[in-house]
Amino acid sequence: EPEVTQTPSHQVTQMGQEVILRCVPISNHLYFYWYRQILGQKVEFLVSFYNNEISEKSEIFDDQFSVERPDGSNFTLKIRSTKLEDSAMYFCASTGLVSGNQPQHFGDGTRLSIL
C-alpha cells in the first residue's frame, strides 16, 4: 500500500539554526499538509499546499516557517532560526482529491529536538 515517507526520523538541532524536514507524499496525491504534535499534546495543523502554493495556514505557521515542493516528489518544511518550543513531532500528510472529505494519510513523522 502506498505510504507517505518522512526523513529524517529524528533531527537534533541547535537553537537558532535552520532545519529542513522532508516528505515524499503518496505519488498521485495533490494536496499536502504539515502538522505538529508537541509531546503529549494533540496534533495541530500547520499548513496545506496545493498547486505549488500554500492554500491554508494556521496561526502557528508564522514567518519562520516555509514550505516548498522542489521537485515532483518531495515536499519540505523549513524552519528558520529554530526555537526551543519548536521541539515536536512533525507529520506530513497527503490526500488525493482537490476538495475535502477524503482521509489524509500521514507519515510516521520527524522528531525535532532543539537544544
Partner 1 sequence: GESVGLHLPTLSVQEGDNSIINCAYSNSASDYFIWYKQESGKGPQFIIDIRSNMDKRQGQRVTVLLNKTVKHLSLQIAATQPGDSAVYFCAEKGNRGNDMRFGAGTRLTVKP
Site for partner 1 (CB under 8 A): which residue of 19, 77, 104, 112? 104
- Residue 86 or 105: which CB sits closer to partner 1? 105
- Out of 13, 22, 43, 87, the only residue in the binding site for partner 1 (CB under 8 A) is 43
Instruction: Give yes or no for residue 48 binding partner 1 (CB under 8 A).
Output: yes
67 contributes a contact to partner 1 by CB under 8 A: no
Sequence-ordered strand ranges (E) for 1-115: 5-7, 10-13, 19-24, 31-37, 43-50, 53-57, 65-68, 75-79, 88-95, 105-106, 110-114
